[in-house]
Structure 1
């Protein structure tokens, strides 16, 4: 089953491949070999997963996309103040090769234009036996999580056509911005522009910036967070040169383009986007690349204003139903079915926001489930907000799961996913109800008709399993039947002990109250279970409310009958208390195991 993220990128790629405007950059041997039809899109998450379509493994020169990376390296080496003394942080509004320096200080406007990038290159020194360009290559390689190198042929071709850049270098030297040989600074800059990358590399570079400077695959801190903060800020205002204002307004992600045909865009804390397509527009930006960034930002709600919260996994826990069973006591046969087949039901508890990044983690998890999973419980009770893109993505993957014959059970009391096709799932207002229903589906599919009896006589109830058949019948003879209608309150909070209630048929909701007085369903009890025994003490009172869900048949061993039992048949009374204690222990043990399983997640 293909991810809806990948399906969406294929759709965008197919549509934008029809754009034929622009022409490739015409300098260098690689430029002459560039195919105008090449077009790749790669999207990398901050946990290192990459979606890619099209031409994503073809090498090209990084060109000006190198500028923010070297800028970050210079800041990491020297500190913010030292770099600021040589390069300003003001948007220039000029083309990339404009002579844009301050009349007062001589500083270039920012590090994204050529003058600023050459000044930055002059600040990067050799260290540890490595030359400046070797240190730059090493840093870029750490960004990309693979070894990448500068291409000598490409560098020499650029150098032969770089009179304007030579002029910029000597101008910066004349006002003291470049200290040392300006030609060396220019050579370092041109060599960094000639580093060969592919679209997938750029996506990983963007994801590393999105992750605050730590590569999400290797875990290497490439740049300190403070340097990344400055780099992304300057990219936002100046990364797209004289198109920066329109870009900030309509795309809303820090970005950088290169005349090699690449563009990176960064949504901090969430994703890195890279596009490669050689034909360029009048600003020197890839035509298809810019169009793809605009389209994806709009469709996936990636504008920094809309997607302001940090993107982290929206999955709080993942486990199977056998690890977290319901509170319903099953027959021995049904319990064996659940023990064997409970792993066929997956439970995902979600939390936080379902914008693109958070939803993507959920979609990826759902797309990678084992073939043996038949049922999926999706619990969104703790989700704070769902974006339009989250609804679309989850709707698509749920439809695919249903098409592959999976049953979806949604715990959504607040209607957070009301926009998803409601024919695709069954909605529950509580987690326990969903788990209980899921267990029932498992038993129906893998058990026999006897596994789910419509009623459980008290004498054969799992609660009284330790008793002999004769003793169970003698105990039943002391009970009185009671029939309850749907919604009838059987026991209320505060009532004194009224006996032990055995459920013969139907279901009972046990309702508790929060400290603020709001009520919530604590658990659901079914046939074969009991309640009321927790108020056994003379002075103890009922702490929960028991309410019928549909018609219910009960057998009640009331307080008077219990008192008579203790006086007339104390041995049987002891067996009853042992059976009730054992049943309570089994329920607590099951709950403890479920909690332990979730903690291990």
Structure 2
């Protein structure tokens, strides 16, 4: 697992309307709120005044909405304040024209080259009159003229319905802004008639002009625009409704033109500093799209000299930089990094527990959740993990992040994990890692956040089980010392009989790492653990060792050799100091001769205990296979 670090020392991330059990926000929401507060201090620029109906907008309005490719939205500020879409309409109408007419027919009318001019320049090819691209007004008027009426729906109704499908709700037109544009938009009138003179617009331009002004007067908010951008990021499928609004070929062309032409004469600087296809509008809106990952929308009316929102540009630059969203860094398709989610009862550790401990885990195992992660943890993948951590159920006490199948961890993912660990700690939740390479573990430690980390999921689950048993069980559930007479194997006997059996045992002591039994050894008796822990393992086909179980006080081992030609099938080692009592083979033979009744009762007890453990093992194996 590699860490893809960045030289930036950025802040951390955020998310506004996340349903969850935590009083504190997620790291992504916290981040957005922080940069919103900082960028709100920018007072440069002025709202657009050439359209009288838009002149009196509040310059302090400022909202940020970030929608993932699977439709989860983070929002902060004035994200529900409506404003006119203006030039942000252009890529969506262009996409509809491409779907209606096909690439070749549209290309014959409008080019795909950056003009280097402002949005309202007359950038027409000499001789043909073909506009440079569909993002400038001349090209946008052409794209509007290419949209067909169909199935009883007028051209504009189809345009409006397409915008609505992208946004995921029915949008409407501001008649006041439309009439103001129609009255004051002399340059666009002139452009339309000039295009008609070159046969770029092939019919009466007056209806085209009206439809163009209507599409610019569609009312949206930042949340709508974020979802429209996320639909483009999701290959033209609205991530919430599931509707395929635009085909992938058209989406590819739209995003390509947005990348090179969407920010007009500032397109080069934008692509360099932000690195995402984008579109601005004089209404104060800005959208940016990272294919496969996110759609960003910002609303703030004051504009710069290019006709773009001052705060929209600053916000986009900041988020791209901090979240590593530039297409060069985040070129790989984003998807949820979470492969599987389950609680530890679905994949128990396999440690033999007392009956009381098993019951505690049966009742409380759901309090420890495992999230299996995979792939590259770039922004989109890390976001899905942070979202899951921010929305855990109220009764969850611990969460295990299994990183074994993760390939690369970006700097932004490491920052998000650090803030998530802090968030979990504040809410008294334990974070546990399965991190064989230690990438995330070491980074958290360097940031002052030590968390339990294990090389295998089994070890992490074992840790969680022990924590749950300690929290929800009685003092007797995890005893430090248990004499054989109290063990599950012998407590089925009459107390006097159990004591007689214990009196026949030998006591043995082992240090950490000492081998108690080896594979292939003949039956050496039944071993009762009085204190300490025992680990069992067996050889794997490749020569390595497979850890099977961990046994604690009150547990037994060795008796299974009786059913396998009286030979040991596992290697048994002391895990720390261990004290055992052993009912040796000779002692068992003597018991059969001297007290056959008690010998029979002992065999019954051992058989019942063995059957119970085999049944538990089969149940756990079935759960693992299902998982």
* Structure-1-length-normalised TM-score: 0.91
Alignment pair present for 1:60 and 2:83: yes
Q: Deviations over 1:544-593 (max 9, x none)?
A: 54332211233456677778889996845465345323311222213424
Task: Give the conservation status (yes or no) of the 8 Å contact 2:488–2:609.
Answer: no
Given that 1:497 and 1:537 are in contact with CA atoms closer than 8 Å, whether structure 2 keeps it comes out as no
8 Å contact from structure 1 (residues 136, 192) kept in 2: yes
Name the residue aligned to 2:443.
419
Question: 1:463 deviation in Å?
Answer: 4.7
Using the alignment, how far apart are the partners of 1:356 and 1:172 within structure 2?
44
Which of 548, 552, 560 does residue 526 from structure 1 map onto?
A: 552
**2:47–2:303 CA contact under 8 A, matched in 1:** yes
Partner of 1:482: 508
Partner of 1:188: 211
Specify which of 538, 542, 546 is matched with residue 572 of structure 2. 546
Q: What pairs up with 1:234-383 in 2 under 5 angstroms?
A: 234-383=257-406
Which residue is 1:585 aligned to?
615
Give 1:454 shift. Answer: 0.9
2: CA distance between counterparts of 1:258 and 1:515? 64
**Structure 1 residues 540 and 203, CA, compared in 2 at 3 Å: closer, same or farther?**
farther
Question: Structure 1's 307 and 502: CA in aligned 2 closer, same or farther, altered over 3 A?
Answer: farther
CA 1:338–1:581 in 2, change beyond 3 Å: closer, same or farther?
closer
Between 155-164 and 111-120, report the one with greater CA deviation: 155-164
Quote how far apart the aligned CAs of 1:71 are.
1.3
C-alpha displacement of 1:517: 4.2
Distance 2:563 2:127 in 1: 88
Distance 1:480 1:594, change over 3 A: same
Choose which of 15, 22, 33 in structure 1 pairs with 2:45.
Answer: 22
Gaps of 5+ in 2: 1-23
Deviation, 1:54, is 1.3
Residues 115 and 534 of structure 1: CA distance in aligned 2, closer, same or farther (over 3 Å): farther
Map Cα deviations across residues 164-222 of structure 1 (whole Å, 9 max, x no partner): 22332233333332222223222222211111101111111111111111111111111
Contact 1:430 1:521 (8 Å CA) reproduced: no
The TM-score, its normalising length taken from structure 2, stands at 0.87
Query: Equivalent residue of 1:451, what SS?
Result: coil
| Aligned twin of 2:488 | 462
1:475 shift after superposition: 5.7
Partners of 2:229 and 2:296 within 8 A in 1:
yes
The answer to whether the 8 A contact 2:85-2:285 is kept is yes
Q: 1:336 Cα deviation (Å)?
A: 3.2
Q: Tell me, in whole angstroms, the C-alpha distance in 1 between the residues paired with 2:419 and 2:436.
A: 21
Cα deviation, 1:235-293, whole Å, max 9, x if unaligned, reads 11111111111111111111111111100011111111100111111111111100000
Evaluate the alpha carbon distance shift between residue 532 and residue 207 of structure 1 in structure 2; reply closer, same or farther with a 3 A threshold.
farther
Q: Deviations over 1:471-509 (max 9, x none)?
A: 655665665443221122344556666665443322233
Q: Give the counterpart of 1:49 among 72, 75, 80.
A: 72
Measured in 1, the distance between the counterparts of 2:603 and 2:591 equals 6
Match of 2:7 in 1: none
Report the CA distance shift for 1:543/1:98 in structure 2 as closer, same or farther (over 3 A): farther
Q: 1:466 to 1:79 in 2, by over 3 A?
A: farther
Go from structure 1 to structure 2 and tell me whether the alpha carbon gap of 1:304 and 1:509 turns closer, same or farther (over 3 Å shift). Answer: farther
2:253 counterpart of 1:227: no
**Bigger shift: residues 403-412 or 269-278:** 403-412
Q: Is the 8 A contact 1:463 1:583 kept in 2?
A: no
Structure 1 unaligned residues grouped into runs of 5+: none
- The answer to whether the 8 A contact 1:345-1:374 is kept is yes
Q: Which of 7, 27, 37 is the matching residue for 1:4?
A: 27
Contact 2:285 2:309 in 1 (8 A): yes
Q: Structure 1 residues 277 and 518, CA, compared in 2 at 3 Å: closer, same or farther?
A: farther
Q: Which residue in 1 is equivalent to 2:464?
A: 438
